[in-house]
Amino acid sequence: MDIPLNMAFLETTMLAGVRIVAFLVLAPPFSFSGIPLRIKGMLAVALSLVVAPRVGTAATQSLDTGVFFLSLLMQLVIGALLGFLVMMVFAAVQSAGNLVDLFAGFQMSQAYDPQMNLNGAQMTRLMQMVALGLLFVSGGAELVLGGLFRSFDALPVTGMLDQSAGDRLLPGLGATFLAAVQIAGPIVVVLFLADVGLGLLTRVAPALNAFQLGYPLKILITLLAGGVLFLGLPRVIATLTDDALRLMGAVS
């Protein structure tokens, strides 16, 4: 029994799967190493089948070998670029945690977390973990995937990137640094004022050794101010998701 196969449809679906795999490797929350690779592979195959009708209906003929491998490489680049843009936007949360750890004195206990692929102290890892959880709970992961699916309309699987795609990286880096300062700014200011107050107290009463008392005081301030920060973190994640979708739309 002969089973007819639409090779053009199959090739475009495979090319779409390559873009999706490259995106899932880099883009949060799917890049979290705590998710098994088997689950990521199954998710990539399922998403490729979902997007297959969108990318495969326009295919009328099979691609040549050279064109197919060139398109394969281009899909890998496009998926990695889109995933990197999302990762760069959400790196603002990690950078904000690093700023808090730096001014709170937690950097002395930093360690590498292989699951989240970051090197930071307590606030950095806690904020990154909460951000990943909020992405799943608030539906941000579905919005990111929706942005990936819309990229197939602007950039077909046989299309190429233009030269302006790389121009989106530099403004994105600046926006990431600004977002990190805005997130951690209130806690950083409070901790800085605490250091100034301890310094003035040391000048007034040197025998008091105020800086020795400053360690538990700064920990208490960080915990109290950090609680206020985590209350506003869902709105921050929603804003970062919108920024990630805007950057993805600008590239595609």
pLDDT in tens, the chain (252 residues): 455 556 667 777 888 888 898 898 888 888 877 778 788 888 888 888 888 777 765 554 566 767 778 888 888 888 888 888 888 888 888 888 888 887 777 766 666 666 666 666 678 888 888 888 888 888 888 888 888 888 887 777 776 666 555 566 666 677 777 788 888 888 888 888 887 887 787 777 776 676 677 777 787 888 888 777 888 888 888 888 888 888 877 776
In a domain, 2, yes or no: no
- For residue 231, the enclosing domain spans 7-251
Alpha helices in 105-139 (DSSP H): 122-137
In a domain, 191, yes or no: yes
How long is the chain? Answer: 252
29: helix, coil or strand?
coil
In a domain, 73, yes or no: yes
Reported as half-sphere exposure (CB side, CA atoms, 13 A), residue 245 has a value of 16
Q: Classify each residue of 95-115 as buried b or exposed e, where b means 16 or more C-beta atoms within 10 Å of its C-beta.
A: bbbbbbbbbbbbeeebeebee
In a domain, 89, yes or no: yes
The total of structural domains in the chain comes to 1
In a domain, 19, yes or no: yes
In a domain, 195, yes or no: yes
The terminus-to-terminus CA distance of the chain in angstroms comes to 43
In a domain, 1, yes or no: no
CA angle 165, 171, 177 (to 5 degrees): 135
In a domain, 47, yes or no: yes
